[in-house]
């Protein structure tokens, strides 16, 4: 049953007329669209439109624009920085029904999808083509959402992030006009790079409704491995040397002792409880064999123990399932806890220093926070476990997270490697970019969305 | 000797006061700064400032801004689309004295340079680090100029273009303020991607004065090869299959029969006069051996002949020197001619069609135009040879070039893969991007450079 609408009556009427039952002000639906996987308290929109085409999105955006009502794009709700929260109310445009794979072009190694297609759905559609879409942020997020937050994940060290993956987009502008950015050419020097401007803009400049992404040939051979180290520094040094030697690892993930303990409990594994690297190698059989030997040698030099290789698909799946379950495994360390998840990324030469300083800081706070990350890129997360009702602990955790973000920025890194700015990290924007660069971002926002209707209250500080 | 200045006297005085002999209105110097390697007639600026620091650039830009006088950045003068021409007069800011390599960080595989550092200079500075900077547009261009035009070249199929290579920049804005974009983190989701906005903006939004670029480990083994084919389609099919199988070729270049004939004459080589692919493979010795065999098999399936491998550095150098000399070799086919150089890029599945249609078109025109290109990316050039005083031939060549650009755009490609828009390709912008997307570019230009002082008359059509 619809609750009384907080939208202007004429907008309510127009949206009802255009979308029928695909427009709703139902409290439950709005609740669902006003929260994500962050620790921010939910802020529901006033209404939700279920779009089924770019034209639907354009119509909804144009109507909201005419009524000066905010719009927020919604994919799968798995964002991590409060991106979806309707801080100024307005209409959430749910793109999950825009889930058609529009074209797969094996010859060109690209595919065009609607924004609501998830990465797993795309990979399922690629079955039998010999190709795959490598970017894997953990959650089965929508590709539109992944583009909007410039997502990446475990494979980025080899295959890049959404910045590299997106060739072209269809975007609905704040006034409802539809544009296309980029072409299917692999490279172009034709004017300003609008594709890269919309990728990572978190729905604040427009809504990505379709995108063309690069695909990659499935590797002939894959090998996965786990290796424990006497300490984190040894693991990090192994990573640095691997990258420097140009070994084309597809994944290289660090988990600290506490994360491994959590995984052992949660996934019933029997990994040595020590700082551990998870590797994956892609290539020809001979290439993978060569990389395997090189990695074994590097890890050995740094005291790597129990080097365990998994060549068979089911072994690999078990291994990576454990890695992917790490988030839930860590949460289970402290029943009832939720996690404040940090996401810094630093130049790899600073990674060991950054981790060491952060662990010392953590110890002083008494907080519990397993560490894991995509260390081949210098990107790591800490899951700070907090009891939702313990205000003092929450404040302590937030202060710790802030010191970590500032430490990363001071090391010429970033406050977010892959989660985005959303609501919570706007406070770091000036420090990371400087006021003058921030003023350029503001100018772009101002000229493209002068009424501040596109996901207001996100990315740019007030 | 200085010619009478066309600048406002107070600006002339201020620039003289700030820069002394590094400011000049000398006719010869202005002439030199008003032309590039395109076929556009030169248009000299009114004055030239030789900058030695970001602060110099900022001071010159701020003074010009205060006097509403245009500024144009100048690197090595090797642009190919009239980028440097002072269509509205103004001050050329020569960055060639900003040629310090500021930092090389082998652990992070990155380097920070002033914009005037050339790619060969950077690679010389990398000697002994085991690293190299792969992007090679042919000319020994400045890295600032390469970033501004989003340059690429032979290695892009493996290592990407300047879009992927640039991690961070220092930019002087149109009003003289200095900003930094990006950080040294390999990835970030922190706000709008200003780095990618300035890369490829051709000096129309600001002047890049410093940049941090990614480096790559020198491959352990390199092999080069030349292989002739019975026809262009067979060569292109070889390329498509190579890319689809994920063979990580570092270079894969196509030259048509006429280009090979030109090279044989110019470089005293004895290559079979047939459509030819030049390959380069990078990797471990075993990896390169494996790739070599795979390539030989693919080429064999398509009638490849005379497969000739060069493993020793001097053989490789000879081979690639011939490829690099192709431009001058082609010009020498018709003494006194100059070249109108096209630069389309299409999805690789359309490459054979695009080339076939273009060759049929060429034949109908009676023009002479060798074809060569970075076909692994779907990017190819035709060097249309014209006699500078033959107006009818020039018009015919321009019409042919226009049909080629439009053909590429119709095939979901781009009118420029790597040379940029500059002056001459603005007429294709609306067709390639659509009026609505173009209006977004105009809005960005308008808000960042409201007085239209940064390289006016470039990129965006009037």
- Domain final position from A78, A94, A110: A94
B75 occurs within a structural domain: yes
The pLDDT of residue B408: 98
A270 occurs within a structural domain: yes
Query: Same domain for B210 and B235?
Result: no
Q: Is B435 on the interface with A (CB under 8 A)?
A: no
Query: Same domain for B296 and B225?
Result: yes
B394 occurs within a structural domain: no
- Chain A nearest-CA distance from B109, in A, is 7
CB A70 within 8 A of CB A449: no
Query: Same domain for B228 and B318?
Result: yes
- Nearest partner of B203 among B99, B97, B84, judged by Cα: B84
Coil, strand or helix at B335: coil
Degrees to nearest 5, angle at CA B238 with B253 and A108? 90
Per-residue exposure over A293-314, b if at least 16 CB sit within 10 Å of its own CB, e if not: ebbeebbeebebeebebbeeee
Query: Same domain for A233 and A261?
Result: yes
Residue A39 banded pLDDT, cuts 50, 70, 90: confident
Number of compact structural domains in chain B: 3
B456 occurs within a structural domain: no
The pLDDT of residue A1: 42
Q: Is B429 on the interface with A (CB under 8 A)?
A: yes
- Chain B nearest-CA distance from A413, in A, is 5
Cα dihedral value A442, A445, A448, A450, nearest 10: -80
Residue B3 banded pLDDT, cuts 50, 70, 90: low
The mean per-residue pLDDT over the stretch A297-326 comes to 88
Residues 195 through 224 of chain A touching chain B, CB cutoff 8 Å: 196-197, 199-201, 205, 216-217, 219
Strands (E), A30-90: 47-50, 71-74
Per-residue model confidence as pLDDT tens digits over B254-274:
999 999 999 999 999 999 999
Residues of A in contact with B222 (CB under 8 A): none
The pLDDT of residue A3: 52
Is a pLDDT exceeding 50 seen at residue B125?
yes
B81, B84, B288, B343 from B35: Cα distances, Å: 10, 6, 43, 19
Whether residue A216 and residue B246 make contact (CB cut-off 8 A), yes or no, is: yes
Residues 72 through 111 of chain A touching chain B, CB cutoff 8 Å: 105-110
Query: Same domain for B194 and B121?
Result: yes
Is a pLDDT exceeding 60 seen at residue B160?
yes
A54 occurs within a structural domain: yes
Whether residue A197 and residue B193 make contact (CB cut-off 8 A), yes or no, is: yes
Q: Is B243 on the interface with A (CB under 8 A)?
A: yes
Q: Is A10 on the interface with B (CB under 8 A)?
A: no
Whether residue B420 and residue A349 make contact (CB cut-off 8 A), yes or no, is: no
Q: Least CB-CB distance to A189: which of B180, B416, B460?
A: B416
Whether residue B187 and residue A379 make contact (CB cut-off 8 A), yes or no, is: yes
Query: Same domain for A237 and A208?
Result: no
- Output phi, psi for B298, to 5 deg: -65, -45
Whether residue B193 and residue A419 make contact (CB cut-off 8 A), yes or no, is: no
Q: Is B179 on the interface with A (CB under 8 A)?
A: yes
The pLDDT of residue B1: 43
Query: Same domain for A242 and A314?
Result: yes
Whether residue B414 and residue A188 make contact (CB cut-off 8 A), yes or no, is: yes
CB B248 within 8 A of CB B158: yes
Average pLDDT of every residue of chain B: 95
A59 occurs within a structural domain: yes
The pLDDT of residue A4: 59
Whether residue A348 and residue B108 make contact (CB cut-off 8 A), yes or no, is: yes
Query: Same domain for A246 and A271?
Result: yes
Whether residue A429 and residue B205 make contact (CB cut-off 8 A), yes or no, is: no
The mean per-residue pLDDT over the stretch B39-57 comes to 96
Whether residue A184 and residue B347 make contact (CB cut-off 8 A), yes or no, is: yes
Is a pLDDT exceeding 60 seen at residue A443?
yes
The mean per-residue pLDDT over the stretch A312-324 comes to 86
The pLDDT of residue B2: 47
Whether residue B184 and residue A348 make contact (CB cut-off 8 A), yes or no, is: no
Whether residue A181 and residue B347 make contact (CB cut-off 8 A), yes or no, is: no
Residues of A in contact with B188 (CB under 8 A): 150, 345, 414, 416-417
Residues 38 through 77 of chain A touching chain B, CB cutoff 8 Å: none
C-alpha B230/C-alpha B305 separation (Å) is 8
Q: Is B461 on the interface with A (CB under 8 A)?
A: no
Whether residue B108 and residue A196 make contact (CB cut-off 8 A), yes or no, is: no
Q: Least CB-CB distance to A417: which of B189, B290, B428?
A: B189
Pairing label, strands B110-114, B207-214: antiparallel
Whether residue B443 and residue A447 make contact (CB cut-off 8 A), yes or no, is: yes
Q: Which residues contact A150 (CB under 8 A, 6 or more apart)?
A: A161, A162, A163, A199, A200, A418, A420, B187, B188, B189, B193
A119, A380, A443, B66, B181 from B188: Cα distances, Å: 20, 12, 21, 36, 12
- Domain final position from B266, B293, B328: B328
The mean per-residue pLDDT over the stretch A47-59 comes to 98
- Chain B nearest-CA distance from A385, in A, is 23
Per-residue exposure over B236-252, b if at least 16 CB sit within 10 Å of its own CB, e if not: bbbbbbbbbebbbbbbb
Whether residue B444 and residue A444 make contact (CB cut-off 8 A), yes or no, is: yes
Q: Is A429 on the interface with B (CB under 8 A)?
A: yes
Query: Same domain for B105 and B174?
Result: yes
Residue B284, CB-side half-sphere exposure with 13 Å CA sphere: 18
- Chain A nearest-CA distance from B180, in A, is 7
Pairing label, strands A338-341, A276-283: unpaired
Whether residue B194 and residue A417 make contact (CB cut-off 8 A), yes or no, is: no
A341 occurs within a structural domain: no
- Domain final position from A328, A358, A386: A328
Q: Least CB-CB distance to B107: which of A205, A348, A408?
A: A348
Select the residue from B189, B243, B352 to test the A interface by mutation, using most A Cβ atoms within 10 A.
B189
* CATH code, B14: 3.30.43.10
Q: Is A193 on the interface with B (CB under 8 A)?
A: yes
Query: Percent helix, strand and coil across chain B, each rounded to 5?
Result: 40, 20, 40
Per-residue model confidence as pLDDT tens digits over A357-407:
999 999 999 999 999 999 999 999 999 999 989 999 999 999 999 999 999
Rounded CA Rg of chain A: 22
Report which of residues B238 and B6 the model is more confident about: B238
Residues 304 through 363 of chain B touching chain A, CB cutoff 8 Å: 343, 345-349
How many residue contacts between A and B have a Cβ separation below 8 Å? 284
Residues of B in contact with A246 (CB under 8 A): 216-217, 219
Residues of A in contact with B436 (CB under 8 A): 173, 177-179
Whether residue B185 and residue A419 make contact (CB cut-off 8 A), yes or no, is: no
Whether residue B436 and residue A179 make contact (CB cut-off 8 A), yes or no, is: yes
Q: Least CB-CB distance to B346: which of A150, A185, A189?
A: A185
Identify the closest residue of chain B to A294 by CA–CA distance. B284
Percent of chain A with pLDDT over 90: 90
Percent of chain A with pLDDT over 70: 99
Residue A324 banded pLDDT, cuts 50, 70, 90: confident
- Chain B nearest-CA distance from A186, in A, is 6
Whether residue A190 and residue B416 make contact (CB cut-off 8 A), yes or no, is: yes
A191, B401, B408, B431, B436 from B428: Cα distances, Å: 10, 11, 11, 5, 14
Whether residue B185 and residue A417 make contact (CB cut-off 8 A), yes or no, is: yes
The pLDDT of residue B4: 59
Is a pLDDT exceeding 90 seen at residue A68?
yes
* CATH code, B249: 3.30.70.2190
B417 occurs within a structural domain: no
Coil, strand or helix at A175: coil
* CATH code, A303: 3.30.70.3450
Per-residue model confidence as pLDDT tens digits over A131-182:
999 999 999 999 999 999 999 999 999 999 999 999 999 999 999 999 999 9
Residue B30 banded pLDDT, cuts 50, 70, 90: very high
Is a pLDDT exceeding 60 seen at residue A2?
no
C-alpha B94/C-alpha B91 separation (Å) is 9
Q: Least CB-CB distance to B244: which of A107, A151, A429?
A: A107
The mean per-residue pLDDT over the stretch A234-250 comes to 92
Whether residue A448 and residue B440 make contact (CB cut-off 8 A), yes or no, is: yes
C-alpha A117/C-alpha A97 separation (Å) is 8
Query: Same domain for A181 and A241?
Result: no
Query: Same domain for A203 and A240?
Result: no
Query: Same domain for B181 and B237?
Result: no
Residues of A in contact with B148 (CB under 8 A): none
Per-residue model confidence as pLDDT tens digits over B307-361:
888 878 888 888 888 888 898 999 999 999 989 999 999 999 999 999 999 999 9
Domain residue limits at B172? 101-217
Average pLDDT of every residue of chain A: 95
Q: Least CB-CB distance to B434: which of A152, A180, A378?
A: A180
Q: What is the DSSP letter of B186?
A: S
Whether residue B418 and residue A443 make contact (CB cut-off 8 A), yes or no, is: no
The mean per-residue pLDDT over the stretch B443-449 comes to 98
- Chain B nearest-CA distance from A1, in A, is 38
């Amino acid at each position: 049953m619809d609750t009384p609408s907080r939208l202007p009556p004429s907008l309510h009427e127009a949206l009802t007329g255009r979308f029928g039952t695909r427009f709703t002000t139902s409290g439950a639906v709005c609740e669902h669209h006003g929260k994500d996987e962050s620790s921010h308290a939910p802020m529901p929109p006033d209404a939700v439109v279920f779009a089924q085409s770019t034209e639907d999105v354009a119509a909804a955006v144009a109507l909201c624009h005419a009524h000066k009502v905010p719009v927020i794009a919604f994919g799968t709700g798995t964002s991590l920085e409060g991106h979806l929260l309707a801080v100024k109310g307005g209409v959430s445009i749910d793109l999950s029904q825009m889930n058609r794979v529009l074209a797969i072009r094996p010859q060109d190694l690209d595919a065009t999808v609607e924004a609501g297609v998830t990465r797993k759905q795309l990979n399922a559609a690629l079955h039998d083509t010999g190709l795959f879409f490598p970017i894997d942020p953990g959650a089965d997020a929508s590709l539109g959402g992944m583009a909007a937050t410039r997502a990446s994940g475990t494979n980025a060290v080899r295959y890049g992030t959404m910045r590299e993956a997106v060739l072209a987009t269809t975007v609905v502008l704040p006034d409802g006009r539809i544009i296309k950015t980029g072409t299917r050419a692999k490279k172009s020097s034709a004017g300003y790079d609008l594709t890269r401007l919309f990728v990572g803009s978190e729905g604040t400049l427009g809504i990505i409704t379709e995108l063309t992404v690069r695909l990659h040939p499935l590797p002939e051979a894959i090998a996965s491995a786990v290796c424990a180290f006497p300490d984190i520094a040894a693991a990090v040094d192994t990573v640095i040397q691997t990258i420097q030697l140009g070994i084309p690892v597809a994944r290289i993930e660090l988990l600290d002792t506490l994360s491994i303990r959590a995984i052992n409990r949660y996934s019933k594994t029997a990994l040595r409880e020590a700082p551990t690297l998870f590797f994956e190698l892609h290539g020809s059989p001979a290439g993978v064999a060569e990389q395997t030997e090189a990695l074994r040698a590097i890890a050995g030099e740094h005291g790597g123990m129990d080097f365990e290789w998994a060549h068979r698909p089911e072994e690999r799946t078990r291994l990576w399932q454990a890695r992917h379950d790490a988030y839930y495994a860590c949460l289970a360390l402290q029943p009832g806890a939720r996690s404040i998840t940090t996401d810094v990324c630093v130049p790899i030469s600073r990674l060991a220093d950054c981790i060491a300083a952060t662990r010392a800081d953590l110890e002083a706070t008494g907080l519990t926070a397993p560490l894991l990350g995509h260390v081949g890129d210098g990107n790591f997360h800490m899951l700070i476990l907090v009891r939702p009702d313990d205000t003092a602990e929450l404040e302590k955790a937030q202060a710790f997270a802030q010191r970590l973000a500032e430490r990363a920025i001071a090391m010429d890194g970033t406050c977010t490697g892959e989660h985005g700015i959303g609501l919570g990290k706007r406070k770091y924007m000036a420090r990371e970019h400087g006021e003058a660069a921030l003023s350029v971002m503001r100018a772009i926002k101002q000229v493209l969305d002068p009424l501040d209707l596109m996901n207001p209250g996100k990315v740019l500080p007030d």
